[in-house]
Structure 1
Amino acid sequence: MIRNSGKREFIPLLEAWKKVEVRKVRERIESVQKSLGSPAYEPTVSFVKAGKTSAREISELVQKTVRTVYPKYYPQAVADFFAMFHSKDRISQDILEGKVWVLRLDGRIIGTGSLEEEHVTRVYVLPEFQGKGYGAWIMGELEKEIRKHHDRAVLDASLPACCFYEKLGYKTVSHQSMSVFDGAVLVYEIMEKRLH
């Protein structure tokens, strides 16, 4: 209600309220402060391993991104394949295995990435936050994790992401394709980057 009112006179009340609340509520209050243009507001950004309660939110993020971006590059059947491949059940299992990370902005998950040894998977940023450096931030953090045990990072790049990964220093090592539903073909690149 305060956000919708647009009234800046609530900012001091929000600041006082924030001091007595738990983290999740504090993050939500900060989001409202930002929308009101609070000068004291500084966004809180964190990159952490996903908890099991995050599976639904991560799944929604991935589904929204796939449904928004992929149809511009692939036939609908390929977008459907990606949506099915990154199901909530699969994400939940990967969270239980400690493979999934999330990027939070003011408590909201706006991006995600997963690791399996040196293999980077499921890197997605909500469409409204793309082009702002969050994807590069996720990749930088995942590469730090990989560097602890490996000297290279590997990933399968979809068509919408190839140029993004090239800018981060990844090189294509092979072109791949596979048939999915209704005879549609999924084309992607295997890319790698040496981590020094």
Structure 2
Amino acid sequence: MKRILSPPKEYRKTVLSLLLLLLSLNLFGQQKLILHNKFRKKQTKELNLTYAVTVTTTLGKFDYCQLGVLNDTSLTIRSRKWVGQTYSDTTFMIPIHQVIKLEYDKMNRRKLALPATLAGMGGAVGLIALPIEAAKGNRESVASGAIVLGSLEAICLSIMYIGTRKTSYELGHKWILVVESSAISPPVR
């Protein structure tokens, strides 16, 4: 009875070794984009390939596109543009040496800043209504309303500021873009 419910030990070892082999191939097969600082040799940053990026090249500027690595000398850029009533996907390759600047958003999803934006707009409407309330003669409610609405605006504006910040990397001046293909081979510069 016990033999029927559990697989034999050889079967479990084979499945486990196949899973470990496939996992290791997946880990070593991934290519990474790494930025090296020219002045501080130990400072490196690995770029996340799933984030939306603004890429400035010698050919022009490409907004909100995704980077991909094809080989050691070229990048694949995939951009989506709204054309008419549909999205058009374009994918093209650029040599790495033509990339001048990369810009990333600090927050990958700007939708997280939407509630703060809406609350900030409501607070702005409330600040506009304060002089009307003061004209009616409610001084105490105006003072407490100004404190509440001012603190609401400060919190919402700070969240909106964090949500719209970008990190930019000037390639050539301070940073060098390097493709690292796996942990086995050394990075190509």
Above 0.5 in TM-score? no
Provide the TM-score with structure 1 as the length reference.
0.18
Q: Between Structure 1 and Structure 2, whose CA radius of gyration is higher? A: 2
Indicate the structure whose relative CO is greater, using CA pairs within 8 Å and at least 6 residues apart.
2
Larger helix percent: 1
